[in-house]
């Protein structure tokens, strides 16, 4: 064997050893280091069979490195994944078990014995020990099964909350301030347990149980402590939601806190029912309770908004569309409860305070936009809630009936002055509800104004109707391009203006004689055709047919039958001239269209 052959064999052996060494000692930080260029050059010196074996080993080592790297990275499981972890098909057994624990503690608390050593104080103390024991058992099982063990401290927290509630409400063992302090201590323990268990099943179970257990056990909700209790629970679970970075806990906590706090108002007598009998003390006490309840509801509202805002800023994660819309029902529930209470407390200021609620939600939204310039998922729910609040407060509570009729001309003038509002021109789904609400208000006020013209002799509604007709013409002329391109909207606006003109002119000139009304109708039709002809707007010109039909029918059926002969001749002559001349103009307009 020559010296050259020996050198080649040594180089080949060295290449094999280098390749094997690279496979057996891979680095996690550089999982692709085996694929660098120098190694490729060395592997090329290996025979094909050895090369194939080394490539298989290298692939196996790379998969091991990838799995090691993946396992070293933190995994953020969703709520569904967390609950399904650790044998979710048996989780229902644990849920039923903690329900049994809670009911057992509730019955223990409510146990009544006429005589004996087991006094209410000892009942409360025994229930508290039972709750603490469940929390301790949860710590004992923590390392074995996190999700299943989380149920036990949740049950313990529910029992402790129930215990504090019963100590104040059921047995009056402690005063209201001490009861609220004890509830706050339990809330702090609840938050601390979240730092130990770090599982959503704990927080969700504790939240639902803490809110509903006093109601299910019939411990009573008709006092000030219940308001403070639900507020403390809402604050505690709001903090946990921010710490746990979950929306579902915030949603559940807001719904339960606001609904149950609002339900407290059902236990108070209505002020209106006791004013008639001059029960001044009852009215004063009820008014004070309503004020306190309104403050408690507003505090829960602020806690919910703060929880959502702080979570968004802290996690840099905006609300999704689905999450945003899930808050709309609870916002409306809060607004319904709060507005009802405010109308009893201060009817004059109630609608203005309600408007402030809408402005507050808008303010929080724009504050969040500073951190997220792009469109937020909550945009739709913010627009919807603000629209409903503003519409209800302004339309139903602030404006009187005769003042609402001005909304029709005002809206038409605004539409004419602001023809370039992109939000209303474009098919933006977020602005769909405001469009519908404004359109409904315009339609309702239009028909209400027609009804007022027929039912009232006051000149007030005549003036409003004339201004409304002028405003509709103003909007039509200012937005001609937009309305002509949309024949349905253009037709609706024109015919609405014509019909109101017919009714208004009949109302104004009806007392002067039937012939005067017919002449005014014909003059209005001539005006419409003239404007349409001058602007070469066939849609506008042809819309005058509605007025012509009314005028012709009135002349032929009424004026020509009951008037003197001279009046009949003049009336029929004028009507014939107008109708024939209108036909000439409309035929010419049709020729324009054919020429185009």
pLDDT reported for residue 398: 94
How many Cα atoms sit within 13 Å of 541 on the Cβ side? Answer: 22
The answer to whether residue 175 is domain-embedded is yes
Same domain? For 113 and 46 the reply is no
Q: Indicate the DSSP class of residue 512.
A: G
Question: Is 121 within the bounds of a domain?
Answer: yes
Same domain, 131 and 225: yes
Inside any domain, residue 583:
yes
Domain that holds residue 29: 3-65
Same domain, 106 and 50: no
Decide which of 217, 244, 267 is a domain's last residue.
267
Planar angle of CA 538, 543, 547, nearest 5 degrees = 145
Q: Are residues 50 and 131 in the same domain?
A: no
Q: Tell me, yes or no, whether 124 and 49 share the same domain.
A: no
Domain presence at residue 251: yes
- CA 366 – CA 446 distance, rounded (Å): 35
Is position 491 within any domain? no
**What is the pLDDT at residue 283?**
55
Looking at the 3D structure of the chain, how many domains does it have? Answer: 3
252 shares its domain with 126: yes
User: Domain check: are 32 and 106 in the same one?
Assistant: no
- Is there a domain that residue 428 lies in? no
Q: What is the pLDDT of residue 66?
A: 44
55: in domain:
yes
Residues 6+ apart with CB under 8 A from 399: 407
527 inside domain? yes
51 and 136 belong to one structural domain: no
pLDDT reported for residue 73: 38
Residue 15 and residue 106 in one domain: no
pTM to 2 decimal places: 0.72
Question: What pLDDT does 202 receive?
Answer: 84
- Residues 61, 107, single domain; the answer is no
Boundary (domain end) residue, out of 229, 246, 267: 267
Task: Kindly state whether residues 535 and 595 are assigned to the same domain.
Answer: yes
59-63 contact pairs (CB < 8 A, 24+): 61/23, 61/24, 61/26, 61/34, 62/26, 62/31, 62/32, 62/34
In the chain (596 residues long), the average pLDDT of successive 10-residue segments reads 64 69 51 43 46 51 43 40 49 84 85 63 90 92 83 91 86 86 91 84 86 78 81 91 85 92 68 51 67 92 91 83 90 93 91 94 88 78 93 94 92 77 57 87 94 84 94 82 58 90 88 76 90 84 87 78 72 83 80 63
């Amino acid at each position: 064997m020559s010296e050259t052959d020996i050198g080649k064999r040594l180089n080949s052996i060295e290449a094999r050893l280098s390749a094997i060494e690279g496979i057996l000692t891979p680095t996690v930080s550089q999982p692709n280091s085996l694929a660098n260029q120098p190694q490729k050059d060395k592997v090329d010196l290996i025979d094909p069979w050895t090369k194939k074996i080394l490539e298989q080993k290298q692939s196996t080592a790379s998969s091991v490195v990838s799995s090691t790297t993946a396992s070293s990275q933190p995994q953020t499981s969703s709520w569904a994944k967390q609950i399904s972890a650790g044998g979710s098909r048996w989780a229902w057994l644990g849920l039923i078990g903690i329900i049994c624990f809670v009911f057992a503690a509730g019955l223990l608390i409510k146990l009544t014995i006429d005589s004996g050593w087991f006094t209410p104080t000892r009942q409360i103390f025994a229930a508290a020990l039972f709750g603490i024991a469940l929390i301790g058992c949860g710590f004992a099982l923590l390392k074995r099964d996190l999700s299943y063990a989380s149920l036990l401290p949740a049950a313990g927290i529910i029992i402790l909350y129930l215990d504090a509630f019963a100590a104040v409400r059921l047995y009056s063992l402690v005063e209201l301030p001490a009861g609220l302090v004890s509830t706050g201590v339990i809330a702090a323990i609840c938050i601390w347990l979240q730092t130990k268990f770090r599982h959503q099943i704990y927080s969700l179970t504790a939240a639902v149980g803490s809110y509903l257990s006093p109601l299910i056990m019939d411990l009573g909700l008709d006092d000030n402590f219940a308001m403070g209790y639900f507020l403390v629970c809402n604050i505690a679970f709001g903090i946990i939601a921010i710490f746990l970075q979950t929306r579902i806990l915030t949603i559940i906590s807001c719904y339960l806190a606001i609904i149950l706090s609002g339900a407290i108002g059902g236990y108070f007598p209505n002020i209106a029912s006791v004013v008639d009998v001059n029960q001044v003390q009852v009215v004063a006490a009820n008014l004070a309770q309503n004020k306190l309840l309104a403050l408690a509801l507003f505090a829960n509202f602020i806690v919910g908004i703060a929880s959502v805002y702080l979570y968004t800023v802290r996690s840099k994660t905006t609300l999704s569309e689905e999450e945003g819309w899930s808050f709309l029902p609870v916002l409306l529930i809060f607004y319904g409860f709060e507005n009802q209470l405010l109308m009893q407390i201060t009817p004059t200021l109630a609608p203005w305070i309600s408007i402030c609620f809408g402005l507050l939600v808008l303010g929080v939204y724009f504050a969040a936009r500073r951190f997220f310039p792009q469109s937020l998922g909550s945009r739709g729910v913010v627009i919807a809630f603000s629209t409903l609040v503003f519409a209800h407060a302004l339309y139903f509570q602030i404006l009187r009936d005769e003042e609402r009729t001005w909304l029709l001309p005002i809206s038409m003038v605004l539409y004419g002055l602001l023809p370039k509002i992109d939000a209303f021109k474009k098919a933006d789904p977020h602005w769909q509800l405001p469009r519908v609400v404004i359109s409904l208000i315009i339609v309702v006020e239009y028909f209400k104004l027609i009804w007022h013209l027929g039912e009232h002799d006051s000149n007030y509604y005549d003036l409003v109707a004339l201004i409304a007709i002028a405003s509709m013409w103003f909007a039509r002329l200012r937005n001609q391009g937009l309305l002509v391109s949309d024949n349905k909207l253009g037709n609706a606006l024109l015919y609405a203006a014509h019909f109101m003109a017919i009714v208004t002119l009949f109302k104004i000139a009806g007392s002067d004689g039937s012939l005067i009304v017919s002449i005014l109708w014909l003059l209005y039709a001539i005006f419409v055709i003239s404007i349409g002809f001058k602007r070469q707007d066939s849609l506008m010109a042809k819309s005058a047919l509605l007025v012509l039909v009314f005028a012709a029918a009135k002349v032929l059926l009424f004026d020509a039958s009951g008037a003197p002969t001279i009046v009949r001749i003049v009336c029929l002559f004028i009507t014939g001239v107008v109708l024939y001349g209108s036909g000439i103009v409309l035929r010419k307009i049709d020729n324009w269209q054919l020429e185009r």
